[in-house]
Structures are given as structure tokens and as C-alpha cells.
């Protein structure tokens, strides 16, 4: 089995998100796939522990198209991850140790985001390079903070957490995907079978000892399962999409479950 990254740390108990979502009232739809066509299936964090920022990049990419009706933003996960590790290190050495979703959101709101092209780069045809990641981007690279796009209003994006549990949480995730048209972030606990999953095996759930926590992006569902886009590249699993058993979403060990709430009137247009 090849190397792959994790990196979703548990938030401090003192962390306060901007808002909570917790209707748990259920929806009529038994399946929903509309958001999948907007997803990025080529994003690859490789062995870095940067999944929190890759999921954030995935969700913003989708939301810009679905909810904003404008050209999507592909932010640089590595720049955001570096800035979050820099904040966590408090002036000390920056190591590739993963980050808390709450810390990532704080950096996003306080510092802004860096365009993919400024960090990971573009190819000769003007398309995003997806094969250029290097661990030195975290361990040794010093970014010019001028590459970060400062917010016109630092409150144009909010961190909303799904606070329901069990079957109510599953209904909330269904409602967010189908009714609200939002991709969701979910910090799941995985074992060694996750990166080699195939649809022929049935929906994935953890059956072996945990190896860490990984932030994925649920984007569609059917009865008994949720389709989650990962960040291990399109050669992973079934094109970087894993069918999670519904009980993975309902499990208390899955934390956080969240989404980006964006005020479109305040989003920069350039």
C-alpha cells in the first residue's frame, strides 16, 4: 500500500464555530447526485497532513459554482495549511503534523486565501498543476503573505457545524447536500483499507484499527451510503470517491461535520 496523508486533528473543546446546524427533520429524496458534477477529483495531498485545507478547497470550489453562480475559486491548500501550521507553531518550527478544522477556519477568516496558481502552479495550457506538491512547502518554504487575498469583509465566510448526532445527523447531511446544495466536510476516522476501497466491497466503514483522522467531502447520497470526495488523487479508490456507509456519518467518532456559509454579497469578484 502506498503512502497517503491524514491530518484532521480534533478541535480544542474551547473552539466556538460561527453557527450550528441541526434540523434533523428528514427530506423526501432518497438519493441526490447533483453536486458531484461540480467536484474536483484530481486533488492530491500526497503524504502531507493537509486534508482539512483540501476539503475546504473542494467545498469552496463547488459552492462558488452552485451557490455563487460565478467562476470557481481554487484556493491553495498548501498555502492555507502552511499558514495554519505557522499559527499553531507560535513562532517555532513548522512541521507537517496536521491541523484542527477550527484553526484552519480562523486562518481563512483572518488572513484570507492564496490562489492555487501562486503556489502549486499552472501548466503551459493554463491549467492547474496537480503533481507539483513537495513536503518542503510545509517544512521549509516561507510564503510571501502578499499572495493571500485579503477579505473585503473578514466575515464573508463562516464555519457552521452540524451539531445533531446519529440518524438526525445523517438527515441533516442529506438536507444540506440535496436542499441547500452544499458539499459538507466530515472528519472521519480511517483504517488501512480506506485508500484501497473498491465499490465491489460495498460501502466503506472502519473494520480495522484506526490509523488516523481524515477530512473528506460528502457530496451525494443513496439509501445507506454517502459519496465522499477525498484528496488522495484520482488514482485512489474509485476515482477519489469513496462510498461511506451511513453509519460512518452517524458515528460519534466522525467529527466535525461542517460546511462553509458564505455571504455572496461580500465575496471578492476578482
pLDDT of residue 2: 46
pLDDT of residue 119: 79
Tell me what percent of the chain is helix, strand and coil, each rounded to the nearest 5. 30, 20, 50
Q: Is residue 13 part of a domain?
A: no
Q: Is residue 47 part of a domain?
A: yes
Checking if the pLDDT of 54 tops 80, the result is yes
Q: Is residue 6 part of a domain?
A: no
Q: Kindly report the backbone phi and psi dihedral angles of residue 246, in degrees, each rounded to the nearest multiple of 5, phi listed first.
A: -55, -30
Which string of DSSP letters, residue by residue, matches 70-102?
SPPP-B-HHHHHHHHHHHHHTTS------B-HH
Q: For residue range 111-133, list pLDDT tens digits in order.
A: 888 888 877 777 766 677 766 55
Domain count, the chain: 1
**Number of Cβ atoms within 10 Å of the Cβ of 262:** 18
> Does residue 265 contact residue 166 with C-beta atoms inside 8 Å?
no
Q: Is residue 38 part of a domain?
A: yes
For residue 39, what is the domain's CATH number?
3.90.70.10
Indicate the pLDDT class of residue 137, thresholds 50, 70 and 90.
low
> Does residue 40 contact residue 58 with C-beta atoms inside 8 Å?
yes
Q: For residue range 196-237, list pLDDT tens digits in order.
A: 899 999 999 999 999 999 999 999 999 999 999 999 988 888
- Higher local confidence (pLDDT), 27 or 251: 251
Rounded mean pLDDT of the chain?
87
Q: Is residue 76 part of a domain?
A: yes
Q: Is residue 36 part of a domain?
A: yes
How far is CA 207 from its chain centroid? 23
What is the spatial distance between Cα 92 and Cα 49, in angstroms, rounded to a whole number?
18
Q: Is residue 102 part of a domain?
A: yes
Q: Is residue 11 part of a domain?
A: no
- Higher local confidence (pLDDT), 14 or 140: 14
| Domain extent for 132 | 19-264
- Alpha helix stretches (DSSP H) within the chain: 51-66, 77-89, 101-110, 116-119, 136-139, 166-178, 246-250
Alpha-carbon dihedral angle through residues 190, 92, 260, 150, given to the nearest 10 degrees: -150
Checking if the pLDDT of 12 tops 70, the result is yes
Q: Note the pTM of the prediction, 2 decimals.
A: 0.92
Amino acid at each position: 500500500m502506498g503512502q497517503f496523508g491524514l491530518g484532521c486533528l480534533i478541535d480544542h473543546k474551547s473552539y466556538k464555530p460561527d453557527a450550528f446546524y441541526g434540523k434533523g427533520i428528514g427530506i423526501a429524496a432518497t438519493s441526490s447526485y447533483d453536486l458531484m458534477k461540480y467536484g474536483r477529483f484530481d486533488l492530491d495531498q500526497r503524504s502531507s497532513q493537509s486534508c482539512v485545507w483540501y476539503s475546504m478547497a473542494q467545498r469552496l470550489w463547488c459552492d462558488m459554482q452552485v451557490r455563487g453562480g460565478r467562476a470557481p475559486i481554487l484556493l491553495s491548500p498548501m498555502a492555507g495549511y502552511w499558514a495554519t501550521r505557522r499559527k499553531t507553531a507560535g513562532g517555532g518550527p513548522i512541521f507537517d503534523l496536521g491541523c484542527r478544522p477550527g484553526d484552519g477556519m480562523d486562518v481563512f477568516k483572518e488572513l484570507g486565501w492564496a490562489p492555487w496558481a501562486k503556489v502549486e502552479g499552472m501548466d503551459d495550457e493554463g491549467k492547474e498543476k496537480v503533481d507539483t506538491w513537495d513536503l518542503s512547502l510545509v517544512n521549509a518554504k516561507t510564503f510571501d503573505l502578499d499572495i493571500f487575498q485579503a477579505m473585503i469583509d473578514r466575515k464573508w465566510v463562516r464555519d457552521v457545524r452540524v451539531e445533531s448526532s446519529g440518524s438526525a445527523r445523517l438527515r441533516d447531511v442529506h438536507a444540506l447536500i440535496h436542499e441547500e446544495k452544499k458539499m459538507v466536510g466530515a472528519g472521519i476516522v480511517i483504517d488501512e483499507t480506506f485508500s484501497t476501497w473498491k465499490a465491489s466491497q460495498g460501502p466503506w466503514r472502519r473494520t480495522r484499527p484506526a490509523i488516523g483522522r481524515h477530512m473528506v467531502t460528502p457530496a451525494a447520497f443513496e439509501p445507506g451510503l454517502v459519496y465522499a470526495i477525498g484528496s488522495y488523487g484520482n488514482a485512489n479508490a474509485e476515482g477519489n470517491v469513496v462510498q461511506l456507509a451511513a453509519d460512518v456519518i452517524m458515528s460519534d467518532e466522525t467529527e466535525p461535520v461542517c460546511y462553509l456559509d458564505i455571504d455572496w454579497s461580500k465575496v471578492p469578484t476578482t
